[in-house]
Amino acid sequence: MSGVPDPSVLGGLDVPALHRWLAQQRADLVADLVAYAEHETPSDDLDLLAAGLAYLEGWLGERLGAPARRTHHGSDERGDVVVLDHDGVGDRTLTVLAHYDTVWSAGTLAQRPVGVDSDVVRGPGVFDMKAGLVQAVWAVRALRAAGLPHPPLRLVLTGDEEIGSPFSRPHIEAACADAAAVLVFEASADGGAVKTARKGVGLFDVHADGLESHAGLDPTAGASAIDEIARAVRTLHDATDLGEGTTVNVGVLRGGTRPNVVAGSAEARIDVRVPSVAAQDRIDALLAGLRPHDPRAAIRVEGRWNRPVMERSAPIAAMYALARAAAAPLGVDLPETAVGGASDGNFAAALGRPVLDGLGAVGGGAHARHEHVSIDGMVERAAVAAGVVAAFAS
């Protein structure tokens, strides 16, 4: 058994009442999102990340009260990780994952300030994923305002998700290891769908080493690294299987020094997306089996799987069923989908934890200039999240 509550436990919970209360707090949700989004937090700016995290901790203290425990993991190269534990009812801890870094460079706000227009909030980072954290906080506040219990909550704030979570990964895994379930407030997919499957992501470099020689005077004395890398690229691209959902993309290709020199070195940089562990194993075997055409040349592969596969397991399906039951009283038939992008939820899923991902904003434009969120969607998703959270205190 996954340990996920049966959706029937929501029968006694008045989710529409939570939604009505949240709708009354609509202006405060918007104000919180605008204030948060006006703190720029690019993944590559340590000063701005530190300032943004300090703001977040202050805001969280105001909205949720002081945590029972605070754990800080500092880094000299990436955004810090802070884990905040809030006590609750029962022994089923929910871990909430929320990254505070964005893809937007310092100064973007000067060009595209945060704006509110009717039901829409626009601005860098609002969809991915600042609105999600605001929704999570207000979901808890809704339960408290209604006098309803929530389980112990562990909030994980990370500052390097947009660059693959190289520093935060072990801290995320530690925070999820004993969790009853993991809620990921990443933005929803098209149509507001939650994400019940995510592809695994591999980032690899293939290097070819050859022998240089004069291309005109003595061409056979050389072994062309460019010829080797070209053959490897064809092999790699042929491994793409769209029916399976696997893509292998050589996005960067470099090699050689001059047109009249047989190339002594070349490299290809690769992005791989796989939908299953079996597909991952197939790609691993392919990479391990790359061999040079010319025995005087050599091929070597560097890199790793940046994120493991998040397959739609039974525990993940159970989390989706719970969320769908929480949304139903609002007249919402909550959709689900599988996506090619990865998140920190992949790490939790690889640990066997029940994961609900894409519980965050309804909107669009992730990593794009038209990034935006729906305010009505924020209110609705906060109510759904409140229902899911409350179920674990039943």
Residue appearing with tokens 């690294």: 225
Mean local confidence (pLDDT), 384-388 = 98
**Residue numbers annotated as active site:** 101, 161
Q: Are 80 and 50 in contact (CB under 8 A)?
A: yes
As given in the structure block, the two tokens for residue 86 are 């809030």
How far is the C-alpha of 79 from the C-alpha of 102, rounded, in Å?
A: 11
pLDDT higher than 60, residue 1: no
**Exposed, middle or buried by CB within 10 Å (0-12, 13-18, 19+), for 338?**
middle
How far is the C-alpha of 196 from the C-alpha of 184, rounded, in Å?
A: 11
C-beta neighbour count of 166 within 10 angstroms = 12
Mean local confidence (pLDDT), 321-344 = 97
pLDDT higher than 70, residue 168: yes
What pTM, to 2 d.p., does this model score? Answer: 0.92
How far is the C-alpha of 168 from the C-alpha of 157, rounded, in Å?
A: 9
Query: Residue 102 half-sphere exposure, CB side, CA atoms within 13 Å?
Result: 30
How far is the C-alpha of 156 from the C-alpha of 124, rounded, in Å?
A: 21
The beta strand positions in the chain, using DSSP E, are 69-73, 79-86, 94-99, 115-117, 120-122, 153-159, 181-184, 194-198, 200-209, 247-255, 265-274, 298-307, 336-339, 355-356, 363-364, 372-374
Mean local confidence (pLDDT), 62-88 = 98
Omega cis (within 30) before 129: yes
Task: List the domains of the chain with CATH numbers.
Answer: 7-197+310-391 (3.40.630.10), 200-307 (3.30.70.360)
pLDDT tens digits, 371-381: 999 999 999 99
pLDDT > 70 in the chain, percent = 99
The beta strand positions in 311-394, using DSSP E, are 336-339, 355-356, 363-364, 372-374
Three-class SS state of 325: helix
pLDDT higher than 70, residue 295: yes
Instruction: Work out the mean pLDDT of the chain and round it to a whole number.
Output: 97
How far is the C-alpha of 372 from the C-alpha of 17, rounded, in Å?
A: 27
Angle between helical axes of 131-145 and 375-391 (0-180°, round to 10) = 60
pLDDT tens digits, 104-144: 999 999 999 999 999 999 999 999 999 999 999 999 999 99
As given in the structure block, the two tokens for residue 319 are 């989390």
pLDDT higher than 50, residue 32: yes
C-beta neighbour count of 173 within 10 angstroms = 15
Structure confidence at residue 355 (pLDDT): 98
How far is the C-alpha of 43 from the C-alpha of 48, rounded, in Å?
A: 9
Mean local confidence (pLDDT), 315-343 = 97
How far is the C-alpha of 36 from the C-alpha of 126, rounded, in Å?
A: 9
Structure confidence at residue 3 (pLDDT): 87
How far is the C-alpha of 173 from the C-alpha of 154, rounded, in Å?
A: 13
DSSP string, 181-242: EEEE-PPP-GGG-EEEEE-EEEEEEEEEE-B--BTTT-GGG-B-HHHHHHHHHHHHHHT-BT
Structure confidence at residue 283 (pLDDT): 98
Three-class SS state of 270: strand
Residue appearing with tokens 């029916």: 243
pLDDT tens digits, 58-74: 999 999 999 999 999 99
Mean local confidence (pLDDT), 155-180 = 97
pLDDT tens digits, 213-247: 999 999 999 999 999 999 999 999 999 999 999 99
Structure confidence at residue 2 (pLDDT): 61
Q: Are 272 and 201 in contact (CB under 8 A)?
A: yes
Q: Are 202 and 306 in contact (CB under 8 A)?
A: yes
Pairing mode, if any, of strands 120-122 and 372-374? antiparallel
